[in-house]
Amino acid sequence: MSTVGPGEATELWLRWKRAHEIVRAAVIAETTAASGVSEPELGVLVCLHESGGSLRQNALAAALGWDRTRLSHLLTRMADRGYVARDKVPNGVEVALCPAGRHVIDATLPTLETATRRHLLDRLGPDDAKTLKALMDGLLSGEGVADEAKTGAPNAGP
């Protein structure tokens, strides 16, 4: 439970939003320039990379928080460029990284690491990264966060 006073919640939200926008824009600009792919394409490649190289299309859409139609159109373009392959499997479609997609992500990860350090971690104190991680874990721990945003009701889960 928060101990933030009246009006402070809005101020905190606006500061968090502005900090996120500044850091995100800087990291994305460097990373997309180095990779030669768009931010959405990079998001797909990173998600597939983190999952071990393949995911069901519906799981990929859920992980990215995207509409399935948007993802389908993007995957068609990415398949045409040789970054991913889609295969029909029972009850769905499997999306897999292709060698060209693996090459892009492998070549881009060092830039992502460097940009994240420069624009986020280097601006924090020595223990702040651990604190930030703990705060983010706390915010992300509630499975119902998205449901709460849709319904306005807090998640009653664990």
Residue 63 lies in a domain: yes
Residue 108 lies in a domain: yes
In order, the DSSP letters of 16-42 are: HHHHHHHHHHHHHHHHHHHH-S-HHHH
Q: What is the CATH number of the domain that holds 37?
A: 1.10.10.10
Q: How far is CA 63 from CA 90, 91, 132, in A?
A: 20, 18, 22
What is the total count of domains within the chain? 1
Query: Phi and psi at residue 90, in whole multiples of 5°?
Result: -55, 130
Residue 91 lies in a domain: yes
Residue 129 lies in a domain: no
In order, the DSSP letters of 45-107 are: HHHHHHTTSEEEHHHHHHHHT--HHHHHHHHHHHHHTTSEEEEEETTEEEEEE-HHHHHHHHH
Mean pLDDT of 7-20: 92
Residue 10 lies in a domain: no
User: 94 is in which domain, residue-wise?
Assistant: 19-123
Higher-scoring residue by pLDDT: 112, 154:
112
Mean pLDDT of 47-62: 95
Work out the number of other CB atoms within 10 angstroms of the CB of residue 121. Answer: 13
Residue 34 lies in a domain: yes
Tens digit of each residue's pLDDT (9 = 90 or more) over 86-124: 999 999 999 999 999 999 999 999 999 999 999 999 999
